[in-house]
Amino acid sequence: MNSNSIVGVLAILYRRTLNPSDPTDLSDPFAAVSLQDAEITAPVARCFALVPCAGSGSRAGTVMPKQYELIAGQSMVMHTLNALLSVSRLEKIVVVVSPTDSHVWPVETIRPIKCGGATRAESVFNGLTQLLAEGEKNPEGVQPSDWILVHDAARCLITDLEINRLIDACLDDEVGGLLALPLPDTLKVAVNGRISETLPRQDKWLAQTPQMFRAGALHAALLSKVSENFDGITDEASAMEMAGFAPKLVVGSPHNFKVTYPPDFVLAEDLLRSRA
Ligand code: C5P
């Protein structure tokens, strides 16, 4: 049974519970739900993208927030958004910006929402809360069973190929997952600038974005961490892990690094120009 069928079974049982006298539902409310029924009734899960873009980028040493710095002729975030825009399976792309952000967006298909928070986790949580609230009033909006792909504005080297690879790998998965890379180097633990331990690297991965989860499940996972100020939540997968799920690892690309420090801008510029 794929995940859409599971959603379908739940939808049928939910409808029967809510409205056992539904004249269109002639079956015994306790009768087994057939897989065929479930597949017909299952809302088709759609994919939406949410781009946290409310950081100040203090480590980048730039005057304005790093996501608006020009790289290879356009702002870093526009490179990111162009990659997302080229994936036809994404219904809508929403960018979470800070409440004081006055950036002018050159593309109408991008929707900025001004609800960024103090941390990345808070920005994602606020954005998702707004989208799900809108979805309650409008079926075209994000529904809890829809997939949400969260992608850092600062990962401007993502490509449609990698985004599609993630969607293909997760669309039928019960949990969802993320792009990541097996750790290539030896991992050391430092104490006061000196090595105290070498860790085995065989089972270690570097997490990237996009990270793709059901909107309702991700929202619930983040909601349970609000009272702790999202402590320990450094990406969506960590929130899902703390909620008891095991996200799927999908091999990404070394080029999909997060532009963080000054030298990263030079590398990103070179790579983007080499693609032109
Ligand atoms: O700071 P860092 O590079 O780790 O941020 C990753 C992404 O999260 C960036 O795209 C940044 O704009 C976003 N972010 C956010 N709200 C914050 C902090 C970071 O949307 N408060």
pLDDT digits (tens, 9 = 90+) for 80-135: 999 999 999 999 999 999 999 999 898 888 899 999 999 999 999 999 999 999 99
pLDDT of 36: 56
Contact 39, 8 (CB under 8 A): yes
Q: Which atom of ligand 1 is the closest one to the Cα of 260?
A: 3
> How is residue 95 written in tokens?
């960018």
Cβ of 121 below 6 Å from ligand 1 = no
Tokens 């873009």 sit on residue:
53
The mean-pLDDT minimum among 58-62, 135-139, 214-218 falls in: 58-62
pLDDT band at 37 (very low <50, low <70, confident <90, very high): low
Cβ of 67 below 6 Å from ligand 1 = yes
pLDDT above 60: residue 39:
no
Q: Ligand 1 centroid to 55 CA: how many Å?
A: 4
Q: What is the mean pLDDT of residues 231-251?
A: 98
Q: Which atom of ligand 1 is the closest one to the Cα of 152?
A: 10
Superfamily of domain covering 46-275: Spore Coat Polysaccharide Biosynthesis Protein SpsA; Chain A (3.90.550.10)
Q: Ligand 1 centroid to 254 CA: how many Å?
A: 20
Cβ of 127 below 6 Å from ligand 1 = no
pLDDT band at 29 (very low <50, low <70, confident <90, very high): very low
The strand order across the sheet containing 110-113 reads 110-113, 90-96, 47-52, 147-150, 205-214, 176-182, 248-251
Give the Cα separation of 143 and 89 in Å (integer): 16
Q: Ligand 1 centroid to 121 CA: how many Å?
A: 9
Contact 155, 80 (CB under 8 A): yes
Q: How many other CB atoms sit within 10 Å of the CB of residue 137?
A: 7
Instruction: State pTM to two decimals.
Output: 0.86
> How is residue 265 written in tokens?
């801008």
Q: Which atom of ligand 1 is the closest one to the Cα of 153?
A: 10
pLDDT of 12: 44
Q: Ligand 1 centroid to 105 CA: how many Å?
A: 18
The mean-pLDDT minimum among 34-48, 155-169, 198-212 falls in: 34-48
Q: Which atom of ligand 1 is the closest one to the Cα of 124?
A: 20
pLDDT of 4: 52
pLDDT digits (tens, 9 = 90+) for 180-191: 999 999 999 999
What whole-number percentage of the chain has pLDDT above 70? 84
**Boundaries of every domain in the chain:** 1-44, 46-275
User: What number of residues does the chain have?
Assistant: 276
